[in-house]
Every structure is written in C-alpha cells, then in structure tokens.
Structure 1
Amino acid sequence: MTAPANETTLDVAVDVRFTPVGTPLAIRHEGRIWVVAADPAHWFTREASWDTRRTAAVGSGDLVSTEYWRVEVRLGSSRSALRTFTLRRNPLSTQWLLENISD
C-alpha cells in the first residue's frame, strides 16, 4: 500500500498535551503548537506476542499494544487549514510519535 500524495510519513517524536480525561488537546511539532480542532479517533493495534521478541518480568506492562490517535489540528488559535495528524505510542514507551500528516 502506498501513501496518498497528500500524506507525509514522519515517525518523529512530539510532545502531546492531554485533557484531564485523557484526550489530546495540543501537539508540539517542530516548535509549533497545533491545537486539536475536532473529536479525535482513538484505537489500539496488537502485535502477536510471539513475534515481538520482547521479554519482561511478570507485571511489567503491555508488550504488544500500540496506541494511536488520529486528530484534526490547526496552528494555535488561528483559522489555518485543518491537517490530520496520526500519533502513535509503542508498547512500554512514554514518547508519542507523529506517524504521519495529511491534508
């Protein structure tokens, strides 16, 4: 599968600010603040545990679930065009990655 012409694949670390209930509120990417402008989509994917090659002590956490958010954002409080960011957090990571941007 190829990416659409209007999609940029990145996989770069970003800072994500969340609401008190755990929904993304804003994303800092390349020194700019992108504000979430619509209800985001949230889902998880799972890898087969036998394919991950990860080992950990019992109780150390979920080794197979990757968390995603797809959010529509715009720059700060401006009326700039909406862009769609796909955010990903890998198992056992605290760092969010900006997987891709589409217009």
Structure 2
Amino acid sequence: MTSSIEAPTQINDHQVRTDAAGKPLAIRHDGRIWLVDPATDSRHWCGRDAWWDTRRTAAVGSGDLVSIEFWRVQVRLDSTSALRTATLRREPLSPQWLLDNVSDADETTEEG
C-alpha cells in the first residue's frame, strides 16, 4: 500500500529531525512521529532540478540552484510496528524537507 503525497510543496504538516551530519532521525507526519530504524540502511543521493522548466531566476552568487537532496529511510512508529519507507526531498535553497511518499517497506524501488 502506497500513500503518495500529490503536491508535497503544499504539505506543511510534517517536520524532519536530523543528526549533526544531516541524516534524518525522525519524521513527524500526520500527527505521529516515525522513527528512522537505525538497524536499516538509509539511502542518500542528489539529483538535478530541471531549471529550464521552472523558469526560476536568482541573483548571481545565490548558490546551487539545481541540486535536489534525497533521503530514503526505513521508519516505524515503535519497536513492534511494521517498517515503512519514506522518501524525503529538499529543493534548492529550501530550508524545509518535503515528504515525497510513504510506502510499505517491501514496495520500494531503486533510485539514485
């Protein structure tokens, strides 16, 4: 079962807690706290924004406007609940993480 978020840029009901290195530790979503399972491997990668489609402009020296950071992590509500897979995304120049989707752990696909 996949619970996709249609327009993650519109969703503000989640927060991501990270460690000092930026790795997600927990996600607050839909009034619940999902803990990243430390016994599982998290995937981290960067993609590129199609800036030519978005028509965004910025002043010279604004920084990296095209790198999108992703994390795919295994989360659970408590030690007895089933694992779920969450994919997080952070857009260029955005201070907030966006929740792309949450799915059952066995429904993940390879990316990156």
* TM-score for the superposition, normalised by structure 1: 0.84
Bigger proportion of residues as strand: 1
RMSD: 1.5
Bigger proportion of residues as helix: 2
CA distance in 2, matches of 1:31, 1:48: 33
Deviation at 1:71, TM superposition (A): 0.5
CA distance in 1, matches of 2:34, 2:50: 34
Runs of 4+ in structure 1 over 4 Å off: none
**Partner amino acid for 2:97?**
W
Contact 1:52–1:64 (Cα < 8 Å) also in 2: no
Deviations 1:11-64 (A, max 9, x none): 234211111222110010012110000221011111244333111112212111
Which residue of the partner structure matches residue 99 of structure 1?
100
CA distance in 1, matches of 2:99, 2:87: 6
- The count of residues paired between Structure 1 and Structure 2 equals 97
Which secondary structure state, in structure 1, belongs to the residue aligned with residue 54 of structure 2?
coil
Which residue of the partner structure matches residue 32 of structure 1?
32
Matching residue within 2, 9, 12 for 1:7: 2
Unaligned segments of structure 2, at least 5 residues? 105-112
CA distance in 2, matches of 1:67, 1:98: 12
Which residue of the partner structure matches residue 51 of structure 1?
53
Q: Percent identity?
A: 64
CA distance in 2, matches of 1:80, 1:94: 30
Which secondary structure state, in structure 2, belongs to the residue aligned with residue 50 of structure 1?
helix
Which residue of the partner structure matches residue 17 of structure 2?
17
Contact 1:65–1:91 (Cα < 8 Å) also in 2: yes
